[in-house]
Structure 1
Amino acid sequence: MIYAWCVDGYSTPLYSYTMDEKVLRGLEQVASQEERNQALHYFEQLKQSPDGWKLCAQALTSGSYEGNDNVKFFCLIVIEAYLRTRYKESNQEGHELIKSLIGSLLHVQAQKQDKGFLRNKVSQIISLAFVIDYPVRWLGFFTDLLHTLSIGHLAVDMYLRILLQIDSEVVDRDIVHTVQETERNIQIKDAMRDHSVLQLADSWLQIMNQYESTQPEIVCMCLDVVGKYISWIDIGLIANDKFVPVIIRFMSNTLLRESACDCIHEIISKGMDPVAKTMLVESFTDVLENVGVLTLSEDEDCDFLAKMAKLINCMGVQLISSWQKLVKVDAQKASETLQAIENKISQLFRFFGDEDDDVSGAVAGFTTDYISFLKQMNPLTGKQRENIESLLYILVKKMKFDESYNFEQEGEDEAMFQEYRKQLKTIFNNLASLDSHLVLITVHNLVTHTLSQWEKMELKDVELAITLLYMMAEALPAAQGQHFTGDLTKVSALQEMMRLLISSRISCHGHMIVMVHFFETVVRYEKFFQCEPQHIPDVLMAFMDERGFHHRSGQVRSRASYLFSRFIKGLKGQINNYIDDILDRIGDLLILNTPDNGYQHLLSNEDQLFVYETAGSLIVSSNFPMEKKSMLMNQVLAPIAAKFNSLLEKLIDEKDENRQLAYAQSINMAMALASRASKGFSSQQTMQSSGCEAVFVKLLQMFIQAVTVPVHRQLIHVGVRQYLHRMVVCLEKEILPFVPIVLENLLKQPSAKELHDFIPLMNQLIMKFKSDISPFLQEVFMPVVSTIFRVLNTPVDDLDQVAVTEKKLLQKSYYLFISTIVSNDVLDVLKNQEANNLHQILITIVQGASDFPDPSSQKTCFNILKRLVAAWGGQDGLQGFLDFIYESIIPTCFMAPMKPDFDLKDAQTSLALGEDALCLKCILEQRGDEMLNYLLGDYLPTHRLSPEQAQEFCDALKSDNKMFRNYFKNFFTKAKS
């Protein structure tokens, strides 16, 4: 009967119409884009049509499109869409139609081998029907499905694909399911355990035995199915005398062994009691040893070795997990598991030390867990100590890169090795925390042996020695990098290795990777040079000659520029005697890179920024008198001063757009370099005390000219603003005369982004100079604000997301601008504006508090209102402001939280609500009973609050801040519910 269902299945046409053949031509490779679009639209219509799936089902089962894979695939997609959206609500007739369709699909797939993607899509459709209908409408699903197996191997193939798809829909933990789907999946698995899994397991064994020699692909898929299902079915169905010998037999079959290995891995991974888990692992170990599978030759296939390594890794990890569970509750069983762990270590060493990194990396988990396991052993046995030494020996050997490693142009292979090295580094650090003395002595011996005769050693050995020395800083951590204090053994070993690193002249090796590691290591151990400063000159020279800044490799030069800046910052107190020489030697690195010199520069722009910062830091931190500091800073910045005006003129005169951009970029870079040179100044070592104001002010006068340049305005302004930001930090009132020039130019047709970027500079000036900038700020305030309003009110296309975002950012910046004014003793700037202008400003603030959908800006606006109330809301406050409190501020405090987009559950919005509450508290502090009477008698009754509710609100308002904030939130939570 079932066979007949499968053969006859979908025999009666369900749909009288046929496919539109003309439209279907759009699925052919030669079709035009218009024809393709028509075809895609046609299938979208079929998805939406109530009976579109039936037309597609008829097309699939009639055989009309047997040779057209594209049509069949799109028909399957339409059916899939129906199953995912509407089938669940279908009646019994609809169920029977789908059941009949599945029978026909199985029959078709059993007769002819479609391409894999079509068979997968068919299996997916069947699994979708299954999860909807099983067990309620189709309890016999598996019985029906199992009867198809007798048709032949294609039917078996489809059966296994369906089981894999069911696993994906019901079990796969990587797929996030809804609560309803999770409940459905539990019901399905329970029903399968009760009615089907025994028959399924029997079918798997039968398939593996029947097709072992004729269809290895099917057997591999069957093993995959077993591995998927073992996680939730009774393990006794698989781990028994019938199944295990078959799977073990496959381990000797080169076509099946990788899948068999994966299957055993999944069986061992199954969650179970720790005692049973140990027994399971050991039973598999015994049978694998008995058949000789664990005795692997060195020239074994790497893919199989990786699978075996993964299996051994699983065994080790599972045994250690079992031991951890048993050690506190059953000492005898824990001892047996411990012995099982130790018995696996020889296999761990074999795979960890394998020449292939994929094989070695596959046991990284076992290796790491074993080290953690040993940390719990006290004391360690002699054998365990030997194991630690063996692991360290293997690890050091495996850290060496292959001869084929391409340092100049790293590709995928190199990236994979670096990822593998990260695993080894983690294991190395764990070994060091387990036995720091062993690791220290081992690394010390290797480093001293290698560096003392590096000329005779291979590159990979030299690189490894320096790498291990570098890694010791993390493997043997020390507070604030103080590796050269405390434990004398460690200090002595590290000092000897560092001394040898420098005195051996390994820095003359020449290879780029050795040089990069050398510089990385001397910077990591900068505290060594505080102990032995006599080595500083050698390192400085290495940075500055052909080993560093002038190395033939751009990678070395780039890394050296960054590391040199760190080296100098860490050793400011030790290098004063070398500053003149350093500045002389890096002079060629300070040359400004321009189109006119063909960009013939050793360093990139980014790298040159580090050099300028380093030069500035050297001068500022030196013990030189002010006069010399000024002279040296002039020398450093001279390349910029010498070329800037010329570049500006060439930019203005240049007609070629590409060269215009090149000149603009050079101008921007010149200002960026000068900005970085100022990074060395601090509150202790100011620009004024260093005698360097004049040179930076002179540059500022030059840079300011650039704001009027008509081309590449935005790029130029970025550089000017960046320099001004630095000068606000470093200069005093000398900077103030330059601000109007920049501002005047900015207000000429600025973009939203330009205004947004400029406002932080205004805020910075206000916060630093406060009342000193008040007269100027009072004068320019309304022009700035008017320009902001004009830009904000300029229409933009809603589809232009960049423009929309820039306007939102500008609006946020506007609120921060007002906030900075009210928070920094320059409130008179607002107070002295014309009444109409001030009223307009205040309106924008209440609008920002209630209407701008950004919680941080709303918080800012309520904070502004609170500060204004504190300043102007008292008895002698600003004229007209009292009316504004009652007409605008108080209503806004109540309206804002009631807005639909004011999400009381959001953390940022809660902060805004808290500021809202504090604003009301501030009004109460200023107006007292007057405010309470207004709330009780006028405002709250108009919002349908009873006298009792209004009184409750006012009583809460009189409580402390914390209590009122909590009440305020609950008040609006109830109001919005």
Structure 2
Amino acid sequence: MACQSVSIINMDEQALLGLNPNADACYRQKAMVYFEQLKESQDAWEVCAEALAKGIYRDGTQQLIRETLMKWLQGQLMNSQPEKPFIRNKAAQVFALTFVMEYLTHWPKFFFDLLSLVGLNPHGVDVYLRTLMAIDAEVVDRDILHSPEEVRRNTLIKDGMREQVIPSLVESWYQILGAYQQSHPEITCQCLEVVGAYVSWIDLNLIANDRFVNLLLSQMSVEDLREEACDCLFEIVNKGMDPTDKTKLVESLCQVLQSAGFFNVDQEEDVDFLAKFSRLVNGMGQSLVLSWTKLAKGGDVKAAAEALRALETKVPLLLQLLVHDDDDISANIVGFCYDYLNVLKQDVMLAVMKKLTYDEEYNFDNEGEDEAMFVEYRKQLKMLLDRLAQVSPDLLLEAVGRVFNNTIQRWQTASFMEVEVAIRLLYMLGEALPASHGAHFSGDTAKTSALQDMMRTLVSSGLSGYQHTSVSLEFFETVVRYDKFFLVEPQHIPNVLMSFLDHRGLRHSSPKVRSRVAYLFSRFVKTLHKHMNSFIEDILSRIQDLLELAPPENGFPALLTSDDQLFIFETAGVLIVHGESPAERKQALMRSLLTPLTDAFRLLLAKLASEREEERQAALADCLSHAVGFASRTSKAFSNKQTVKQCGCTEVYRDCLQTFLPALSCPVQRGSLRSAVRSFLHRMIICLEEEVLPFVPAASEHMLKDCEAKDLQEFIPLISQITAKFKDQVSPFLQQVFMPLVLAIFEVLCRPAEDNDQAAALEKQMLRRSYFTFIQTITSSGMNEVLANQGVENVERVLFTIIQGAVDFPDPIAQKTCFIILSKLVELWGGKDGMAGFPDFIYKHIVPACFLAPLKPSFDLTDAQTVLTLSECALTLKMIHLRRGPEFIQYLQQEYLPSLQVSPEITQEVCQVLQQPDAKVLKNYMKAFFQRAKL
């Protein structure tokens, strides 16, 4: 038969016959031509694969293909020279495709046939190993996309192989590895690659046993084999398995490797091998990390600790490989390094969480030194947690979430220490998470979701009823820390409100809890009052008894202290003011809130006036002060948007003022009563605006009687506040009260005091500062007529006190204020149309003050506050030049500076600088001028 050319469009059966060693020369030549074309063609193997995969040949043909393949393989066994590698690879692919098609149906003994034929013949073993790799590519390789039908077929093939042939294949690998280690290292390497490929899906016990592993480890010492042996061990280590078993496997491998000297990285010169070894160490390290993570999450503390110990013993080796000069070796270990750092962070987090826990001996009712030390220690732990959060916020969130959820699921049976620390960790996240997590419930969805889930669990778990002080406190602290959560999920507000109001919160058996909850409740309401409109009157009703003034003769201990009640009154005010009721309803609610206070105040004030016993007087005065303080606190609810007038509450607060003011003339316990009423007046100036003005003269008259330094010092800010706010409206009143106030101040300042009475000296210093601040307020408010209309003698007297304050008292804060006043007075009265006689006062007193004050030894130019004073002094000189012009320059040149023995050159300098427009130049020059002058 003549030989013909062959086409590769369809699989040529005759060409396959040519593979038979006994075939005619013509067929053999035809087969060679055919496979040469297959070799060159890009799509030829699609044809082959399609033919085999679809089974388009009849049974006889399939039998022919099987026989042909086995005969070809038999020929390989007898040939002294093997076929070229590409022929062997193609043949292996044909074997693999035939296997995939035939194994489950017509050729279940595929491997047994192959193994019985091949034996330990090196050429046959080569094709056998290539075939196994080709089968792995077809059946196992996850990088190849398979159809659902192919996936099902591949699963059946693997199941069949596991059941029928895998032990025999593993035995063949063992024999091959032992037989060819010395004579055919390339076959041994192929076999190691096969083991590495198949270990991922076969029973690991067939490989991970002493016999097999010892063989592999022995090959780690053979130069031609050790890189492949490393890769094979890497695949074994990467095999998914029980974490405890994995830890044992890795440890046993490490012990043998270390005993054999492989951990002595510095002594190894083969960088290619070290790169493979580094990859193996990386795999072992990451496997241990995975084992630790699974065991820790599963709660197996003992096994997790063993995995962690195993991990820690690898760190020296990790560091040796990480710092190696070769970058490939170093790069291969980075994954282990990163994972280990994560473990360290998690381990530290777990340790911190454990150490945050109270011990059973902690005395919550009577906290002593030990308890204080633990609280301080907790702060240090929190700082550590914050630092960890900066590095790994996600890790912290996950760790806290795990502890929190595990504990809250079983809170009814968990100890108070466990429950408290679980909530505490959630609370700590608020500060620990970086700023990017900001509002906690907006932004990063993952973080938001985690926090939101934990908060939802907290408020819906029933945990608010846990009977322990520490847990109760932590619950309310956390609810308020994350009050923005309730803006996102307002459906939880009613339940949480009830926990604040009942025995879990404001009526808790512990005074400590009640006290803290009073404050936290006010914060909660301030944030969420818009969502409480339908509950307002119910809440006010429930807290009614907590708003009662407790008179001293009551004898029953109140649920809340007066300080705690302040927060409840403020909360009540917020609910009323920010509710959606009409103004009339708000007025009625506010009146019902404040009327009990004013009624009680009148009765108690009458008792105080007739009381002779000092202790009882003090108790009554305290109670009266509390009543005023409570009323004052309710006014904090008002804002620019919700004013007293808009809410219809003006009359209510006017009535309060009317009730409280008589206390100013009470002859006993004057200090505390005046202080309380004065504070209320401050609030009313802000809230009532001009409605407060009719009350001011009488109040001032009472407060100026029989004053002490402290009384005056506290009264002046009130007058300053009125002056700054109402300006011209209060000018007549100020003109009337000005000199009585100034004379009262002078009288107190002139009282003799002992030289060593530092408290009295400080009181006088503070009063002097307040006095100068008051004068500054009047002048800067454009109300110079208040001072100007006091008569010449009184004006002069006041002016001299300001000059004295600028020069004589070594108090840079007061001195600065005095120079600001002088500068303002020069601006107001120093011009051509200013106050008569004032220009003369400028030259006789203000100009000398500007030079004499900085020349004083007590005027310290290295002190920052004193330098600010010097700046105001320079600005005063600048203002004099602005108002008096060349006349002032002439006075300095011809009279004043020569009188100070200043040289003509320096005098000229001073005058030139004064005439420059830039005030900063003058300030800098004056500082240098006085520094030179004081040398």
TM tier relative to shorter chain? 0.5 to 0.7
- Secondary structure, in 3 states, of the residue corresponding to 1:737? helix
Q: Please give the alpha-carbon distance, in whole angstroms, between the structure 1 residues aligned to 2:352 and 2:546.
A: 41
Q: Which amino acid aligns with 2:413?
A: K
- Tell which deviates more after alignment, 668-677 or 475-484: 475-484
What corresponds to 1:818 in structure 2? Answer: 775
Q: 1:408 deviation in Å? A: 1.5
Instruction: Check whether the contact 1:484–1:491 (CA below 8 A) recurs between aligned residues.
Output: yes
Q: Provide the residue aligned with 2:672 in structure 1.
A: 715
Distance 1:607 1:730 in 2: 23
Q: Deviations over 1:121-174 (max 9, x none)?
A: xxxxxxxxxxxxxxxxxxxxxxxxxxxxxxxxxxxxxxxxxxxxxxxxxxxxxx
Retained in 2: the 8 A contact 1:641–1:699? yes
**CA–CA distance in structure 2, aligned partners of residues 694 and 491 of structure 1:** 47
Query: Separation in 1 of the partners of 2:410 and 2:863?
Result: 64
Q: Identify the match of residue 646 of structure 1 among 603, 608, 611.
A: 603
For residues 52-89 of structure 1, the C-alpha deviation after alignment (integer angstroms, 9 at most, x for no partner) is xxxxxxxxxxxxxxxxxxxxxxxxxxxxxxxxxxxxxx
Partners of 1:749 and 1:381 in 2: how far apart? 76
* Mapped pair 1:622 → 2:579: yes
Q: Relative to structure 1, is the Cα distance of residues 400 and 877 closer, same or farther in structure 2, using a 3 angstrom cutoff? A: same
Q: Which moved more, 1:400-409 or 1:532-541?
A: 400-409
Aligned residue among 804, 809, 820 for 2:761? 804
Deviations 1:873-927 (A, max 9, x none): 1111111111111111111111111111111111111111110000010010011
- How far the C-alpha of 1:381 sits from its partner, in A, is 3.8
Structure 2 residue 396 is the aligned partner of structure 1 residue 439: yes
1:479 Cα deviation after fit: 5.3
Cα distance, 1:480 vs structure 2: 8.2
Deviation, structure 1 residue 747:
2.3
Supply the distance in 1 between the matched residues of 2:782 and 2:340 (Cα, whole angstroms). 74
Mean alpha-carbon deviation: is it higher for 407-416 or for 880-889? 407-416
Q: Secondary structure at the match of 2:725?
A: helix
CA–CA separation in structure 1 for the residues paired with 2:817 and 2:830 = 19
CA offsets, 1:760-800, max 9 Å, x none?
Answer: 00000001000100011011111111111111111122232
Question: Who is 2:526 aligned against?
Answer: 569
CA deviation map 1:248-295 (0-9, x unaligned): xxxxxxxxxxxxxxxxxxxxxxxxxxxxxxxxxxxxxxxxxxxxxxxx
Which amino acid is 1:458 matched to?
A: S
Alignment of 1:590 with 2:547, yes or no, is: yes
How far apart, CA to CA, are the structure 1 residues paired with 2:757 and 2:807?
A: 25
Quote how far apart the aligned CAs of 1:648 are. 0.2
Larger Cα-atom Rg = 2
Q: 1:638 to 1:381 in 2, by over 3 A?
A: same
- Any conservation in 1 of the 2:437–2:447 contact (CA below 8 Å)? no
Measured at CA, do residues 451 and 934 of structure 1 come closer, stay the same or move farther in structure 2, by a change above 3 Å? Answer: same
Question: For residue 694 of structure 1, what is the aligned residue in structure 2?
Answer: 651
Give 3-state SS (helix, strand or coil) of 1:455's partner: coil
Equivalent in the alignment of 1:919:
876
Whether the 8 Å contact between 2:914 and 2:922 is mirrored in structure 1 is: yes
AA matched with 1:600: P
**SS of match in other structure, 2:710:** helix
Number of the residue aligned with 2:561: 604
- Superposed, 1:55-66 pairs within 5 Å as none
Give 1:666 shift: 0.6
Shift of 1:968: 0.7
Residue number in structure 2 paired with 1:971: 929
2:825 to 838, 853, 868: 868
Does residue 505 of structure 2 align to residue 548 of structure 1?
yes
Matched ranges for 1:399-414 at <5 A = 399-414=356-371
Matches of 1:954 and 1:804 in 2, distance apart? 40
> For residues 107-506 of structure 1, what are the structure 2 equivalents within 5 Å?
380-478=337-435, 481-506=438-463
Shift of 1:398: 2.7
Q: 1:938 aligns with which of 883, 895, 907?
A: 895
Provide the identity percentage: 50
Structure 2 counterpart of 1:396, one-letter code: M
Between the aligned partners of 1:432 and 1:940, the Cα distance in structure 2 is 65
Distance 1:653 1:487, change over 3 A: same
Structure 1 residues 385, 874: CA separation in 2 closer, same or farther (over 3 Å shift)?
closer
Q: Secondary structure at the match of 2:506?
A: coil
| Cα displacement string for residues 692-743 of structure 1 (whole angstroms, at most 9, x for unaligned residues) | 1111110101110001111111111000110000001111211112111122
- Which amino acid is the alignment partner of residue 932 of structure 2? K
- Match of 1:552, SS? coil
Distance 1:949 1:423 in 2: 60
* TM-score, scaled relative to structure 2: 0.64
What residue in structure 2 maps to residue 954 of structure 1?
911
Inter-partner Cα distance in structure 1 for 2:893 and 2:517 = 72
Given that 1:590 and 1:639 are in contact with CA atoms closer than 8 Å, whether structure 2 keeps it comes out as: no
Q: Deviations over 1:604-643 (max 9, x none)?
A: 1111111111111221122221111111111211221120
Aligned-residue offset at 1:971:
0.8
Greater alpha carbon shift after TM alignment, 628-637 vs 397-406: 397-406
1:650 is paired with a residue of what secondary structure? helix
The residue aligned with 1:522 is 479
Aligned in 2, Cα 1:810/1:836: closer, same or farther, shift over 3 Å? same
Q: Assess, with a 3 A threshold, how the Cα gap between structure 1 residues 599 and 743 changes in structure 2: closer, same or farther.
A: farther
Given that 2:346 and 2:399 are in contact with CA atoms closer than 8 Å, whether structure 1 keeps it comes out as: no
Residue 842 of structure 1 corresponds to 799
Number of equivalenced pairs: 615
Amino acid across the alignment from 1:539? V
Asked if structure 2 preserves the Cα contact closer than 8 Å seen for 1:481 and 1:525, the reply is no
Report the Cα distance in structure 2 between the residues aligned to 1:897 and 1:525, rounded to whole angstroms.
Answer: 55
Distance 1:419 1:631 in 2: 48
CA contact (8 A) 2:803 2:846 kept: yes
CA separation of 1:787 and 1:503: change in aligned 2, threshold 3 A: same
**8 Å CA contact retained: 2:430, 2:481:** yes
Pick the aligned partner of 1:853 from 794, 810, 832.
810
Aligned to 1:656: 613
CA shift, 1:486, in A, is 2.5
Task: Work out whether residues 855 and 912 of structure 1, in 8 Å CA contact, stay in contact via their aligned partners in 2.
Answer: yes
Residues 828 and 484 (structure 1), Cα distance of their counterparts in 2 relative to 1, 3 Å cut: same
8 Å Cα contact 2:708-2:748 kept in structure 1: yes
Residue 391 of structure 1: CA displacement?
2.9
Q: What residue number does 1:123 align with?
A: none
Select 2:634's aligned residue among 664, 671, 677.
677
Deviation at 1:450, TM superposition (A): 1.8
Q: Aligned partner of 1:732: which letter?
A: E
User: How far 1:487 moved relative to its partner?
Assistant: 2.5
Local SS of the residue matching 2:412: helix
Alpha carbons 1:481, 1:527 under 8 Å: kept: no
Q: 2:689 aligns with which of 709, 727, 732?
A: 732
Give me the whole-angstrom Cα distance separating, in 2, the residues matched to 1:396 and 1:947.
77
Q: Which amino acid aligns with 1:976?
A: K
The aligned counterpart of 2:704 is 747
Q: Using the alignment, how far apart are the partners of 2:930 and 2:391 within structure 1?
A: 57
Q: 1:583 to 1:922 in 2, by over 3 A?
A: same
Segments of 5+ residues of structure 2 without an aligned counterpart are: 1-277, 290-300, 302-311, 323-330
Partners of 1:935 and 1:450 lie apart in 2 by 82
By how many angstroms is 1:481 displaced? Answer: 4.5
1:770 aligns with 2:727: yes
- 1:397 Cα deviation (Å)? 2.6
TM-score by length of 1: 0.61
Shift of residue 449, structure 1, vs aligned partner: 2.4
TM-superposed CA distance for 1:848, in Å, is 0.7
Find the residue that maps to 2:553 and give its secondary structure. Answer: helix
User: Alignment RMSD, CA only?
Assistant: 2.6
> How many Å apart are 1:830 and its aligned residue?
0.9
Q: Indicate how the Cα distance of structure 1 residues 704 and 479 shifts in structure 2: closer, same or farther if over 3 A, else same.
A: farther
Gaps of 5+ in 1: 1-334, 347-354, 356-365
Tell me, what secondary structure is at the counterpart of 1:597? Answer: coil
Q: What letter matches 2:455 in structure 1?
A: M
